């Protein structure tokens, strides 16, 4: 019997033990035992055996989480990491070698930008950036040594969106691996593999956890790709902890209803804030004023939980707005049950030069709001009173 994704998020579970538990147990163990010396030798001799050896390699709690994400994304297999950035870095290191070239959207998370610009060149891997608002600019950047195209959609924090089908067909023609960071949308809202992505990754710390508790990352995709990635993670050690995996797996049970609520509230906030005299621009994927609105409607089931808006007064207004908030949290996380506001120009993207920030749409007065699960009127009231003070 084939179940719908929201059912799979709840019903995929570790095989019940002899205790007949209803909720999945937490497998807090660093290693696993064998029935014989021969079984032990076989486990180490064959990487493909489906047997637990050591929790850096695999663990039932982690496997359950990975299996759920793979099912929700429509992927063959997956592997989990300790953080979202570990998922990004492991993907780059597994599939890129000295002399290779990667093309990335310039609108990427600050730490991803640092890996691309500071660390990859140390190992002889070249990068090129393209503007997500100009997808036609990708093809001229492709070289004979281009191995990967990397993109976030929607991007952090500018909410840029790209047509995944168009990019995937270009990658197929040139035999390039398409890697999509699906963190902002989550598999409840968007499944990039159905549009042609080879690998999809997440910072599970965000909406997948949904309550700001634990760190985690995950990559899913074709089995042969994931096997290579698994061996890199197994040997270098950025594995997910069983406890975090257990928390994240439970979180997935509410992902679909949470994302529906986040998105409904975010759309309402976006509609209300765009009328405010202190605000020069509001960006949200399901607002008709979003430049890629029609693409968002095609590949996303809702607009997600993030809204950005530009304050007319620039950096000083941005700080004044944050200081005036009474309920909304000031933190650099997102995807929480609690509404969060941040000012990217002075925090998450402060390491970028002014020119780099402008290139990815991070203007001085840009405010990013991760809309939570509180009553939407309470969220709006706090935003409005803070706007009145800047």
218 vs 62, 86, 149, 208, CA distance in Å?
A: 10, 9, 18, 10
pLDDT of 63 reads 97
Q: Over the stretch 65-101, which tens digit does the pLDDT of each residue have?
A: 999 999 999 999 999 999 999 999 999 999 999 999 9
Give the CATH number, domain containing residue 30.
3.40.640.10
Q: Are residues 238 and 304 in the same domain?
A: no
Give CA–CA dist 288/268, Å, rounded.
Answer: 13
Instruction: Give the residue among 85, 96, 213, 103 at the shortest CA–CA distance from 156.
Output: 85
Backbone angles phi, psi at 167, to 5 degrees: -65, -40
Q: Are residues 135 and 186 in the same domain?
A: yes
pLDDT of 350 reads 72
Helix (H, G, I), strand (E, B) or coil at 379: helix
Per the DSSP assignment, residues forming a β-bridge with 270 are none
Given phi > 0 = left and psi -120 to 50 = alpha, else beta, which region is 54? Answer: beta
* % of residues, the chain, pLDDT over 90: 88
Give CA–CA dist 126/121, Å, rounded.
Answer: 6
Q: Are residues 227 and 276 in the same domain?
A: no
Q: Over the stretch 42-53, which tens digit does the pLDDT of each residue have?
A: 998 887 778 999
Q: Are residues 119 and 202 in the same domain?
A: yes
Q: Are residues 214 and 306 in the same domain?
A: no
pLDDT of 390 reads 86
Helices 242-252 and 60-73, axial angle in degrees (round to 10):
40
Helix (H, G, I), strand (E, B) or coil at 287: coil
Domain boundary among 226, 252, 278: 252
Q: Are residues 358 and 284 in the same domain?
A: yes
Give CA–CA dist 91/314, Å, rounded.
Answer: 36
277 vs 202, 205, 365, CA distance in Å?
A: 36, 35, 14
Give CA–CA dist 202/182, Å, rounded.
Answer: 6
pLDDT of 349 reads 67
Q: Over the stretch 136-170, which tens digit does the pLDDT of each residue have?
A: 999 999 999 999 999 999 999 899 999 999 999 99
pTM of the model: 0.95
Q: Are residues 191 and 139 in the same domain?
A: yes
pLDDT of 183 reads 98
HSE-CB of 151 using CA atoms within 13 angstroms: 28
Q: Are residues 160 and 259 in the same domain?
A: no
Q: Are residues 362 and 228 in the same domain?
A: no
- pLDDT under 70: residue ranges of the chain: 348-349, 360
Give CA–CA dist 300/263, Å, rounded.
Answer: 11
Q: Are residues 195 and 290 in the same domain?
A: no
Give CA–CA dist 109/117, Å, rounded.
Answer: 12
Q: Are residues 357 and 212 in the same domain?
A: no
Q: Are residues 292 and 320 in the same domain?
A: yes
Instruction: Give the residue among 267, 305, 233 at the shortest CA–CA distance from 83.
Output: 233
Domain boundary among 237, 252, 267: 252
Q: Which domain holds residue 72?
A: 5-252
Give the CATH number, domain containing residue 276.
3.90.1150.10
Domain boundary among 202, 232, 252: 252
| Cis peptide bond N-terminal to 165, omega within 30 | no
pLDDT of 336 reads 98
pLDDT of 258 reads 98
Number of independent structural domains in the chain: 2
Q: Any alpha helices (H) in the chain, and if so which ranges? A: 5-11, 37-45, 60-73, 84-95, 110-114, 164-174, 223-236, 242-252, 255-273, 293-299, 314-324, 354-359, 376-387
């Amino acid at each position: 019997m084939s179940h719908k994704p929201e059912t799979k998020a709840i019903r995929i579970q570790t095989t019940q033990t002899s205790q007949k538990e209803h909720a999945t147990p937490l497998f807090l163990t660093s290693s696993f035992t064998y029935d014989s010396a021969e079984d032990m030798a076989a486990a180490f001799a064959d990487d493909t055996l489906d047997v637990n050896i050591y929790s850096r390699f695999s663990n039932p709690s982690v496997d359950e989480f990975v299996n759920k994400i793979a099912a929700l994304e429509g992927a063959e297999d997956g592997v989990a990491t300790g953080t979202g950035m570990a998922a990004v870095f492991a993907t780059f290191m597994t599939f890129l070698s000295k002399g290779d070239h990667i093309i990335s959207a310039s609108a990427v998370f600050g730490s991803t930008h640092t890996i691309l610009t500071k660390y990859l060149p140390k190992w002889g891997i070249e990068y090129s950036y393209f503007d997500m608002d100009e997808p036609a600019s990708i093809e001229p950047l492709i070289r004979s040594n281009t191995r990967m195209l990397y993109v976030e959609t929607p991007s952090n924090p500018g909410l840029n969106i790209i047509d995944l089908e168009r990019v995937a067909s270009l990658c197929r023609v040139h035999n390039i691996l398409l890697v999509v960071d699906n963190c902002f949308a989550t598999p409840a809202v968007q499944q990039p593999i159905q549009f042609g992505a080879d690998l999809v990754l997440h910072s599970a710390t965000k909406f997948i956890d949904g309550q700001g508790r634990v760190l985690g990352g995950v990559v899913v995709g074709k089995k042969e790709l994931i096997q290579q990635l698994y061996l890199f993670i197994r040997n270098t050690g950025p594995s997910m902890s069983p406890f975090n995996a257990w928390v994240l797996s439970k979180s997935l049970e509410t992902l679909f209803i949470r994302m529906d609520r986040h998105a409904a509230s975010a759309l309402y906030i976006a509609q209300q804030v765009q009328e405010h005299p202190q605000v020069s621009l509001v960006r949200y994927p399901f607002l008709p004023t979003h430049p890629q609105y029609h693409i968002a409607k095609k590949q996303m089931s809702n607009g997600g939980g993030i809204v950005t808006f530009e304050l007319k007064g620039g950096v000083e207004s941005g700080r004044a707005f944050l200081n005036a908030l009474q309920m909304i949290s000031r933190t650099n996380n997102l995807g929480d049950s609690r509404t969060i506001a941040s000012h990217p120009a002075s925090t998450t993207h402060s390491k970028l030069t002014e020119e780099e920030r402008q290139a990815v749409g991070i203007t001085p007065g840009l405010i990013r709001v991760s809309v939570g699960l509180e009553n939407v009127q309470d969220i709006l009231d706090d935003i409005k009173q803070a706007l009145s003070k800047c």
